[in-house]
Structure 1
């Protein structure tokens, strides 16, 4: 990932604001996906829920983040890799849900190509594994 929040925002065509920088910094500090409720706790009232939601949506639309549902149905967000863009996400990697700490990790394990029957078109492909993460095992 780039060196600074300002560079990431500029690369993805987003206005550089204090609130966007604060949210993006939380993703820089985390090695796992973060949910909106988790971000709200970390930000300790820095911004309201609607502003945070709009920032997460704009980050996902621009290719800075991608979303993953956890086993409880809560949306989580993780940083995209350097080759992602708004036009073409490359999120096709393994997501790992830890059964103990409930964190979600993006693992650098590529999902193999899937040959679908004629007439089917893939919009998004995801693969999730569950078990114990390296800290909990």
Structure 2
């Protein structure tokens, strides 16, 4: 609940509220996201909708999918960029974060066995946030989801 979760839009809402309050509504607040940040930005606008009226001036999403649940296992992504990003994510963030959270991944060798972002989402993010499957997590992460 306190760890990072791309599908949780309440964090974004709180940041927008703080920015709006600090500027006393005098400076337009804009949200710009790239990649996962773009996914979070579009998902937040889609889910929060009218709650952002008068607080958020605009939202720009660069390389952020709106239907993550349809695009999560493209072979080119799995083979090309996901292993590089997964390696850096494990090296710089996930190892310590998982230890501090107390979350115990089902696979005791998750650090060595997770090779892609899909693996990380399946083994770490989805179960640690209470999702039954990675697809459930991706549906909640998507701005357009049935």
Normalised to the residue count of structure 1, the TM-score between the two structures is 0.26
Higher strand share: 1
> Between Structure 1 and Structure 2, which shows a larger proportion of helix residues?
2
Q: Larger Rg: 1 or 2?
A: 2
TM-score of the superposed pair, with normalisation by structure 2: 0.25
